[in-house]
Amino acid sequence: MTTSEATTNGDTSRSVSVKDVAAAAGVSVGTVSNVLNRPEKVSPATLEHVQQVIGRLGFVRNDAARQLRAGTNRAIGMVVLDVRNPFFTDIARGVELRLAEHRRPLILGSSDQDAERESTYLDLFEEQRVSGLLITPVGKVLPRLRRLRERGTAVVVVDRRTGSREFSSVAVDDVRGGRLAAQHLLESGRRRIAFIGGPRGLTQIKHRLHAAQEEVDAVDGARLRFVETGTMDADAGRRGAEDLLAGPDRPDAIFAANDLVALGVLQALTLAGVRVPEDVAIIGFDDIDFAASAAIPLSSVRQPRAEMGRAAIDLLLAAIDDPAAQVRDIVLEPELVVRRSTG
Ligand code: RIB
């Protein structure tokens, strides 16, 4: 059966097939296939001639049909916690650039930290038989990831270490990042520190908070208070800061779970007439571009996002090529970036 090919203007009524191109070019179907898939096997003169005929006839390969025959989809699925957070879109950008080199499309979804939404995307990617999946998990997804892998989808976890030894992961050292932020606030004389952001059960938050708590516990007279939020966006930061300002125990420093939360904290303090950093210092996490360009430039703990994206997709492509490829946990170094918001 000839797989019919759509013409470039999408008119499938007169779709052009590989056979049509071969006949018009006066070459075999095998030669046309080589021009499309293995151009290095074709002489330059024949390559140019066949490519001209392809352009003139408006032939477009039907990759969907080829993938249907192969049983897998060349696309890569990616589920992040919040697609509005530049931290994740910066990572996705690194992934997309690498995939373009491999002619693979990226399908990006946002769980919005909701386990149901996350599951809907996993269903979609399973139905689509995507070749690979990058995921920053919300819920307990290990059983789902195992099933995806059994059905031929490679999986890499991003922004969180799994410790499962079943799936590779790429993340920053969140414990080190939590220490850097807390040490910086303590060294600048802050003693009443609030950590805003959550949920507490999210591995990244658990590690940052626990490390900060250890640093605070080691300093006489210092204390840390955790203000848990359901999401990690600017609204959560605003609400968390407003609650703190309304309470009796005002902090002299706020460690925000990420920069979006920190930007919300900064807005709430500024609107309440609280001076930053004089009255309250603020530090975030990720060092997204908005941190440096905030009205009061934000100190933050930088995550190497582009490097994270490249490392994640390289691990995934390796696992697609060889399902028995070694499972690796890549842990990247965070970096303290000091700006005006901590003085
Ligand atoms: O993954 C949880 C948080 O860690 C995200 O919001 C992102 O900002 C990263 O810092």
Report the distance separating Cα 241 and Cα 261, nearest Å: 10
Q: How far is CA 70 from CA 18, 59, 164, in A?
A: 18, 21, 30
User: Residue 8: what pLDDT?
Assistant: 46
Structure tokens at 88: 């994740």
In a domain, 44, yes or no: yes
Ligand 1 closest atom vs CA 285: 10
User: Residue 3: what pLDDT?
Assistant: 40
User: Residue 38: what pLDDT?
Assistant: 87
Last residue of one domain, picked from the residues 50, 67, 84: 67
In a domain, 96, yes or no: yes
Ligand 1 closest atom vs CA 136: 1
**In terms of residue numbers, what domain contains 25?**
18-67
Query: For residue 192, what is the domain's CATH number?
Result: 3.40.50.2300
With the CA atoms of 67, 72, 73 and 74 taken in that order, what torsion angle do they form, in degrees rounded to the nearest 10?
-90
* Together in a domain, 182 and 291: yes
* Together in a domain, 185 and 296: yes
Closest CA relative to residue 232, chosen from 258, 193, 255: 258
Query: For residue 22, what is the domain's CATH number?
Result: 1.10.260.40
Q: How buried is residue 138: exposed, middle or buried, by Cβ count under 10 Å (0-12/13-18/19+)?
A: buried
Other Cβ atoms closer than 10 A to 152: 15
Which one of 112, 118, 175, 204 would you pick to mutate in the ligand 1 pocket, going by the greatest count of ligand atoms within 8 A of its CB?
A: 204
- CB of 233 sitting under 6 A from ligand 1: no
User: Residue 164: what pLDDT?
Assistant: 74
Ordered per-residue pLDDT tens for the chain, 343 residues: 344 444 444 454 568 999 999 999 999 999 999 999 888 899 999 999 999 999 999 998 877 766 666 667 899 999 999 999 999 999 999 999 999 998 899 999 999 999 999 999 999 999 999 999 999 999 789 999 999 999 899 999 999 987 778 999 999 999 999 999 999 999 999 999 999 999 999 999 999 999 999 999 999 999 999 999 999 999 999 999 999 999 998 999 999 999 999 999 999 999 999 999 999 999 999 999 999 999 999 999 999 999 999 999 999 999 999 999 999 999 999 999 999 999 8
- CB of 85 sitting under 6 A from ligand 1: yes
Q: How far is the CA of 137 from the centre of ligand 1 (A)?
A: 11
* Together in a domain, 166 and 310: yes
Q: How far is the CA of 43 from the centre of ligand 1 (A)?
A: 51
User: Residue 69: what pLDDT?
Assistant: 66
Other Cβ atoms closer than 10 A to 261: 34
Q: Which amino acid is at 259?
A: D
Question: DSSP letter string over 141-165?
Answer: -HHHHHHHHHTT-EEEEESS---SS
Give the residues across from 172 on adjacent strands: 332
* Together in a domain, 224 and 328: no
- List, in sequence order, the alpha helices (H) in the chain: 18-25, 29-37, 44-57, 63-70, 86-101, 115-127, 142-150, 174-187, 203-217, 234-246, 259-271, 289-293, 305-321
In a domain, 150, yes or no: yes
- CB of 286 sitting under 6 A from ligand 1: yes
- Total domains in the chain come to 3
In a domain, 326, yes or no: yes
- CB of 148 sitting under 6 A from ligand 1: no
